[in-house]
Amino acid sequence: MVSKSYTCGISKEPLIGLTIGEKFDETVKRYHKNEALVVRHQNIRWTYAELSDQVNKCARALLSVNIKKGDRVGIWSSNRSEWTVIQFACAKVGAILVNINPSYRVNELNYALNQSGCVMIVIEDQFKYSNYHDMVMSLAPELSTDQIGNLKAEKLPNLKIVVSLSDNPPAGMLSWKLFLDRSEEIQPKELELRAETLCFDDPINIQYTSGTTGHPKGATLSHHNILNNSIFTAGRMNFSDKERVVIPVPLYHCFGMVLGNLSCMTHGATMIYPSPGYDPLAVLETVEAEKGTVLYGVPTMFIAELEHPDFDKFDLSSLRTGVMAGSPCPIEVMKKVQSVMHMTDVQVGYGMTETSPVVTQTKIGTPLDKQVATVGQIHPHVEIKIIDPETGLIVPLGERGELCMRGYSVMLGYWNDEEQTRQAIDRTGWMHSEDLATMDEEGYIKIVGRIKDMIIRGGENIYPKEIEEFLFTHPKIVQVQVIGVPDIKYGEVVMAWIQFKEGEQASEDELRTFCKGNIAHFKIPTYFKFTDSFPMTVTRKIRKVEMREISIKELDLSKASSVKTA
């Protein structure tokens, strides 16, 4: 009988049945003298006792402005101390934190606030090229005339209060300092009474996931989802209270707030933010100055650090582990991270916002070939199956299919969107990822592409990741991304966007010659684009949808693009 692509995560370590607030208080009691938070650009160093003081003050301030259990509170900011404080304070009062992407513009902000029903939002004044004050005022001009805390905005009917992290916000917004001062109106006992009404299955976080079409969907996560996931993710890295975790990934995403903040909090470790937004030089400086032991990032971040002209000037020998996730990692990059960045125990994780996020992860001691070529093995208390997308049947080991997950970490659903929830989570509780994967006999998972990314050239199924991995072995190439572009004859053909190492260049003919005899002829790119940059999201994930749009325009493929297919 052929073995099927199914596995479940067995563990002697049970799930914990606590709220985030309860676990936070446990950690503070045990590790109160440990350094909890370092924010270099704000010159902040807080112990867990000091962080607890800030969090409890903020939690009482939330009660003072009448935030109820289940109310949605938005945070629109880069990485800074106030983000972390509001994250834990919301958990303590049972408010649902709504993470708003720092790159959002007015229309996206309008959608997120109204779709989630935010009654309060905490905003930075500006970040990069975005003026958050101006954008909020454009949606709620009534701020300038309405009483603070009693906003009646026509376009944002649920929003009642806006708190600014600026010391001098526009009229109608409450400064962070004055907001915290309101904590004096609430006795600690009132916060204790609120805690008694909370349950670990309560929703605690809404994160908007971007799709290729339509509006973002608000993945709704519970205390139980993200608290347990943070514990098991850190556990695989052998976390202790001595870890110093450098977090350059954005806090608005699960990578930052769960793998970063919560994993540190559950173990009494130190959260370290190098800069408001990603800056490779700041990361290198921070690892050296703070003696970082753990570093997080997506592959493009590690590539930027490795390729920085000053890389060799920094002592990174304190590093031992970290997580590389968010998108597939080129094998050569992984090898460099392990060697020249001293991260011998670096791990690859796979997951989705909808799964809190991690469902598979490599382990310390994983063989090198598995460490660099797979996304590891299943997490505790989770099930995985790989299915034929057409039939829904589990495929044999080694065969490609859609990766599906079930267990404690699967989201509660998409906020106020039953139809999208039903499409993502089937009637038996399986979350469908739309990622193509294989499973081997030891349960190692390999991501081989996206169902929607797959290129179909004249009936041949082509998986971009396979071509990317091959082209990345070319000695002149530092980054490569492969997409499908329309073609009248074949339906789709392969296109590769190439970034060369500094000072290097190659012709299209040279690259085609490199491919011939090494990969099938139909996988050899028809088109090449040489570039210094790729369109990216704020989390530095490469946007292949945008690459395709740019390529169709530049190659004048609109006629081929308009050909209808069955």
Cα–Cα distances in angstroms (integers) from residue 542 to residues 143, 199, 300, 307, 534, in the given order: 37, 38, 8, 18, 6
CB atoms under 10 Å from CB of 240, counted, come to 11
Instruction: Give me the amino acid identity at 550.
Output: I
What is the token pair recorded at 57? 């003050």
Instruction: Give me the amino acid identity at 62.
Output: L
- Domain CATH code at residue 109: 3.40.50.980
Closest to 482 in 3D by CA, of 468, 469, 492:
468
| Residue 418 forms part of a structural domain | yes
| Residue 566 forms part of a structural domain | no
Pairing mode of beta strands 270-273, 244-246: parallel
Angle between helices 299-306 and 280-290 (to 10 degrees): 80
- Among 168, 199, 230, the domain boundary falls at 199
| Residue 117 forms part of a structural domain | yes
Name the one residue in this structure whose structure tokens are 């309101």: 182
164 and 141 both lie in a single domain: yes
430 and 485 both lie in a single domain: no
473 and 437 both lie in a single domain: no
What secondary structure letter does DSSP report for 505?
A: -
- Among 145, 167, 199, the domain boundary falls at 199
- Among 403, 425, 450, the domain boundary falls at 450
463 and 533 both lie in a single domain: yes
- From first to last of the 566 residues of the chain, give the pLDDT tens digit: 579 999 999 999 999 999 999 999 999 999 999 999 999 999 999 999 999 999 999 999 999 999 999 999 999 999 999 999 999 999 999 999 999 988 888 888 999 999 999 999 999 999 988 899 999 999 999 999 999 999 999 999 999 999 999 999 999 999 999 999 999 999 999 999 999 999 999 999 999 986 544 578 999 999 999 999 999 999 999 999 999 999 999 999 999 999 999 999 999 999 999 999 999 999 999 999 999 999 999 888 998 999 999 999 999 999 999 999 876 677 788 889 999 999 999 999 999 999 999 999 999 999 888 887 899 999 999 999 999 988 999 999 999 999 999 999 999 999 999 999 999 999 999 999 998 999 999 999 998 877 878 787 866 778 788 889 889 999 999 999 999 998 887 778 999 999 999 999 999 999 999 998 888 788 899 999 999 999 987 777 888 889 989 999 999 998 776 643 32
| Residue 472 forms part of a structural domain | yes
CB atoms under 10 Å from CB of 264, counted, come to 28
8 Å CB contact between 389 and 261: no
301 and 428 both lie in a single domain: yes
pLDDT at 213: 42
Angle at the Cα of 520 (from 493 to 515), degrees rounded to 5? 90
507 and 465 both lie in a single domain: yes
pLDDT at 210: 63
446 and 486 both lie in a single domain: no
27 and 10 both lie in a single domain: no
| Residue 544 forms part of a structural domain | yes
Cα–Cα distances in angstroms (integers) from residue 556 to residues 491, 532, 549, 553, in the given order: 15, 21, 11, 5
pLDDT at 566: 25
pLDDT at 68: 98
What lies within 8 Å, CB to CB, of 413 at 6+ separation is 220, 421, 425
- Domain CATH code at residue 357: 3.40.50.12780
The count of domains in the chain is: 3
Name the one residue in this structure whose structure tokens are 């209270």: 241
- Domain CATH code at residue 515: 3.30.300.30
| Residue 510 forms part of a structural domain | yes
What range does the domain containing 95 cover? Answer: 20-34+44-199
What lies within 8 Å, CB to CB, of 455 at 6+ separation is 461, 462, 463, 464, 482, 483, 484, 492, 493, 494
Cα–chain-centroid distance for residue 65? 31
432 and 552 both lie in a single domain: no
| Residue 60 forms part of a structural domain | yes
446 and 482 both lie in a single domain: no
pLDDT at 212: 42
| Residue 367 forms part of a structural domain | yes
68 and 161 both lie in a single domain: yes
| pTM of the predicted structure, to 2 decimals | 0.85
What is the token pair recorded at 195? 């805690």
335 and 367 both lie in a single domain: yes
